[in-house]
Structure 1
């Protein structure tokens, strides 16, 4: 019964950004710069790993993390520097149907927010690039700015407080199940993102569209 009451109270939507609103694909970018597939696999699997990049999401500067990584992998110094110099190139287009979905929610008067794992250094140029979409959001919590990274429960608690939301009042949308599960434990109603049509169906089922 508690879950039913929670769903009935939904009034806002909190989005993830990468791979929910926009395509983030480091491999697609670096395969244009590293012709050898084996080297590409090594670079992304052993050098510029997701674990290494998460340091940026947690608030560390690219200057520091890249210097450390270049010291370990001097043969990949050029590609490591390219990660920071051209991070915007890793971010592709808006995912199909998402601009229209966000616009429809905004037009319906649904308060929109976001929690994103994103470097505080890489965020401003991306925010400017996607201003037409992101201006519809009332607030966006950027992990690199607050030095908390999903799925840390603290980032969800901070989001509820900063957005002025009570538990059960927001649907949280993320492509990673672990992030969604952590959000649910923190008081959000969760949706694991697969595509815009499935999300639209869920929003209609919750009465938000």
Structure 2
């Protein structure tokens, strides 16, 4: 039986970092402009790669001075950024689980914010294993992170299908021999899986 590996953020769990700063900015546009100003997505990716939040805040303050101060509340506010789920995706996961399909997850996610995901989304227990980039100090789309998941679960690349909303991550999976589906919505994913015999 083939194994299905899911990305989490924006495939199963919606992630909206601007929500963490709703008490600082009066509008979403203002929050998003500030996130762009401080290079939030690159900053956050470093935490996903294993950097601690304390180190990240120090780095942001060194680069942006007092404009970075609001990052200090991000970890505490993080749960509000992941409260919502992607419509229809969990139902697909539950259908696969009911069919006995072995399920795994591979996510770019900070080690320090990961416990919040576990608490808010108990259906993550459907996965046999979740490989969290921040814990491994590896990041998609580097080949090493896909191989880490395969090796620690005794999986052959050709026995797996990977689902991710990032084209770069899809390409990374294919580069190590894993069939991959670019996630654009639950309906399209269900059809792509059906075409693969599920």
Shift in CA distance, 36/134, structure 1 to aligned 2, threshold 3 Å: closer
| Aligned equivalent of 2:70, options 43, 68, 79 | 79
Aligned counterpart, 1:50: 41
Name stretches of at least 5 consecutive residues in structure 1 with no aligned partner. Answer: 1-9
Name stretches of at least 5 consecutive residues in structure 2 with no aligned partner. Answer: none
Aligned counterpart, 1:195: 185
Aligned counterpart, 1:25: 16
Q: Give secondary structure in 2 for the equivalent of 1:178.
A: helix
Normalised TM-score (structure 1): 0.88
Q: How many equivalent pairs are there?
A: 198
| Aligned equivalent of 2:56, options 62, 65, 90 | 65
| Aligned equivalent of 2:127, options 137, 145, 165 | 137
Deviations 1:147-168 (A, max 9, x none): 0000111101111111221121
2: distance between equivalents of 1:100 and 1:32?
33
CA RMSD of aligned residues (A): 1.8
2: distance between equivalents of 1:52 and 1:96?
28
Q: Give secondary structure in 1 for the equivalent of 2:105.
A: strand
